[in-house]
Amino acid sequence: MEFKPEATAEAVAQAKILLVDDEPKSLYALQQLLSQLEQNLMIAQSGEEALRLALKNDFAVILLDVRMPGIDGFETARLIRSRERSRLTPIIFLTAAADEMASMFRGYEVGAVDYLMKPVVPEVLKSKVAVFVELHRKTERLRESEEKLRLLAAHLISVREEERAHIAREIHDELGQVLTGLKMEVGWLAKRLKDKDLIDKTDSMGKLIDSTVQTVRKIATGLRPEMLDDMGLVAAVGWQAKEFQKRTGIRCRVKLPPEVKFDIDVSTTMFRIFQEVLTNVARHSRATRVDIELTVAADRIGLDVLDNGVGITDTDMSGKKSLGLLGMHERALLFGGELKITGTAGHGTRVTVSIPLKGKA
């Protein structure tokens, strides 16, 4: 049996078109005319009914009669445009008042993309509606592709975090144990040696092993801080700020809430964003102080980081080297959050992150 994926996709992607007119005969004529496009035609006989439908559906285009009792076409269009879901929906006005040029301008003012006089020319109307249907389909395909890419990004981030945690545990446990055992063996050997040169050599080996242990701990912590898993996000942010100040010399003033246990994925996301912010401060800001505040509300967790550096510019935020900033935005978006970056020349940069809490762990 031959499989035709394109035909299946086409059947699913039938666009919705809203026809609004208080005259049943006009609605019937529009339905008959546009039925040839084989799309999902929905009708409304008043502005109120059109608003209810626009609240629940995403339309490729709305054909709206100007003169209707109650809420007329202009007010209906204005209300449709005022709602987030339908603010970009194309609206084509239909009117029999051919001599009312002023009403045409008013129509464009409330968001109409076109203005057709009754009786409409069938070929013209079908052509215009077909264009908006095709644009709607392309927009939907782009939205689906964007959603798939975002899901893929979420999966890759999750896999990477799991792999980093696994490698960190392996390094800390396996290699750490081997080095500890090696240190004990060298100590045992040193107690039984009489030759000074050999004793000095074992002492040097012991110090080298201690240095290697510290390096292993540093690598493991960089991959996945134990504090984040064991003590939570609040403690991890405080610890990271202290480490950053010790490493860079940039003073950190930290304001933290009482410790609360969050979902581990949310904690990881916020912590990784915080790490990236501090990395950008160290590399680009030339700051001497950073103010850090972590806040927790009933339904959201927020992070605010303000430095006193040179200030980020619009060019910096949109340049080729801004992949780190893009990564922070994507991490926040994966959990329905938002990230804002603002900068003032000579007065520093502020990064604010807000992520909703679906439930504390």
Angle at 30 between CA 26 and CA 34, to 5 degrees: 175
d(CA 315, CA 318): 5
Residue 4 pLDDT grade (very low, low, confident, very high; cuts 50, 70, 90): very low
pLDDT above 80 for 108: no
- Per the CB < 8 A criterion, the answer to whether 307 and 351 are in contact is no
pLDDT above 90 for 156: no
- Classified by CATH at the fold level, domain 230-356 comes out as Heat Shock Protein 90 (3.30.565)
How many percent of the chain have pLDDT more than 70? 90
Helix (H) or strand (E) holding 91: strand 91-95
Instruction: Note the pLDDT of residue 167.
Output: 80
d(CA 99, CA 133): 30
d(CA 105, CA 353): 43
- Classified by CATH at the fold level, domain 15-120 comes out as Rossmann fold (3.40.50)
Torsion of CA 251, 253, 258, 264, to 10 degrees: -50
For residue range 225-275, list pLDDT tens digits in order.
Answer: 777 877 889 999 999 999 999 999 999 999 999 988 888 888 888 998 999
d(CA 184, CA 187): 5
All structural domains of the chain with their residue ranges = 15-120, 148-223, 230-356
Instruction: Note the pLDDT of residue 118.
Output: 78
Helices 176-191, 196-223: crossing angle, 10 deg rounding: 170
Instruction: Note the pLDDT of residue 160.
Output: 76
pLDDT above 60 for 8: no
